[in-house]
Structure 1
Amino acid sequence: MSVITGGKLKLVQAALKLATERSNLTSLGLRELAREAGLNPNTFYRHFKNLDELGLQVLGYIAGEMKAGVRELRMVAESSEQAATNTVAFVYNYFLENKAATTVAVRELYGPSPILRRALEQQLNASAREMAEDILDRGLIPRGLSEQTVQEISHMTIRYILFRAMDYIEKPAQREAIQQETERFINRQFRGALLDHLSNDELDALTSGLAETD
């Protein structure tokens, strides 16, 4: 995670605050941004060429800490279920502690700036790749799933969590249920993928065995 300080940090923090009150980062005015940051408007161009460049810095600022924390949790997990539980708890707690950052990230994923949309997509894809790499390297899933399958599930998982982010923030009474639902979503994706690798005969045998236990 790159460290930003001084006037650049003040502008990033001001942009996060103001963007939660607007539709997106690129709708901000330079004068109001500088005023919120307590800086001279001309200071903006010492740090950024335009609002898109500021937006890229804001998105990087958002992503760094969360990605580092999530990866650390996966590296100490002993199973995919434990990894799912720990990761979901950490990420949703991050959402609560960084409501402005989360709101901005969700909005910009579908915002008007193609530069910021691509940047967010790249960050989401990078997070999914890291998730798949950690799962495979740590052996957190049973053998039988291909690297491509694990990457596909990781890709869906990252987007599902971001999709539920605003509900988690705005609906306190549903937070526990959303967290449990997200854990079930992740675990079901992996279990379902394992079933996809079974032959028809193996599926029939499994189905028959389940029927006999009912």
Structure 2
Amino acid sequence: MSKTAPSAPSQPRMAQGKRLLMDTATRLLARQSLQSTLALRELAREAGLNHNTFYRHFSSLEEMQAAIIEEFVSSLRSGLTEARQQIPPGQSVSHMVIGSVFDFARQNSDPFILAYRVWHGPPSESRDLVQKAMDQLCDDMFRDLQALGILPKLDEARLRRLLAIDIQQVFRLCIAFLESPRSRARLLDAGDELLKTLIAGAAVLQSP
């Protein structure tokens, strides 16, 4: 079982005020109810900045939220690709990769929860951005698993649909893991079983 979370790629140096705003907003948004909206003055106060500082870096709260999600997704995508490429022979791909996602979620719980809530929230530009990111994760997963020779010779469109379902469920398992870390082993088994069941079912359906 992997204990190493996906490593984040090196990011360009960010202005301190912008970094404070993004980190503070992520923390506040991850803890608010779905019906709540983030007030600019509240954000500035929590970050210890004048509220006018916000407009030096962002034109709107929506733009800032998009920047938070883009940064989160970039780290997750590169980390998962790295994790899949480092799987030792004979190891369970599902256990290793899902374990890496669990560790990433634990170390980045606020942006992870925020992205998950936006993904399942009302229509918005940020939700479209998260969905695009999930599609990219699916493309990455298909490419890497195909290179590892793990995917069966099935219709590509069907495989991509199955991987998209798997990614959605893995994110739900991550939320369950954050709520109950002691359930890690059980949740890993559930994720592994899900992917195997999806692929096996697709193979049966495609059989002549």
Using the size of structure 2 for normalisation, the TM-score is 0.85
Which residue type is aligned with residue 115 of structure 2? Answer: A
The counterpart of 1:21, out of the listed 1, 14, 31, is 31
The counterpart of 1:73, out of the listed 79, 83, 106, is 83
Percent identity (aligned): 25
Task: Name the structure 2 match of 1:167.
Answer: 176
1:137 equivalent to 2:151? Answer no
Please give the per-residue CA displacement for 1:93-112, whole angstroms capped at 9, x wherever unaligned. 11112221222112111334
Task: Name the structure 2 match of 1:58.
Answer: 68
Higher relative contact order (CA 8 A, sep 6+): 2
Please give the per-residue CA displacement for 1:15-56, whole angstroms capped at 9, x wherever unaligned. 111112213598111112112222221111111110110110
Task: Name the structure 1 match of 2:161.
Answer: 152
How far, CA to CA, are the matches of 1:107 and 1:185 in structure 2? 23
The counterpart of 1:102, out of the listed 94, 112, 115, is 112
- With over 3 angstroms needed to count, the CA separation of the structure-2 counterparts of 1:10 and 1:24, relative to structure 1, is farther
- SS class of match (1:191): helix
The structure having more radius of gyration, on CA atoms, is 1
Task: Name the structure 1 match of 2:137.
Answer: 127
- With over 3 angstroms needed to count, the CA separation of the structure-2 counterparts of 1:25 and 1:89, relative to structure 1, is farther
Deviation at 1:116, TM superposition (A): 1.2
Aligned length: 198
Which residue type is aligned with residue 28 of structure 2? Answer: L
- SS class of match (1:27): coil
The counterpart of 2:44, out of the listed 25, 28, 34, is 34
The counterpart of 1:117, out of the listed 117, 123, 127, is 127
Which residue type is aligned with residue 105 of structure 1? Answer: A
- With over 3 angstroms needed to count, the CA separation of the structure-2 counterparts of 1:112 and 1:141, relative to structure 1, is closer
CA contact (8 A) 2:101 2:174 kept: no
Which residue type is aligned with residue 158 of structure 1? Answer: I
CA contact (8 A) 1:25 1:55 kept: no
Using the size of structure 1 for normalisation, the TM-score is 0.83
Any unmatched runs of 5+ in structure 1?
200-214
Task: Name the structure 1 match of 2:3.
Answer: none
How far, CA to CA, are the matches of 2:161 and 2:90 in structure 1? 15
1:187 equivalent to 2:182? Answer no
- With over 3 angstroms needed to count, the CA separation of the structure-2 counterparts of 1:25 and 1:131, relative to structure 1, is farther
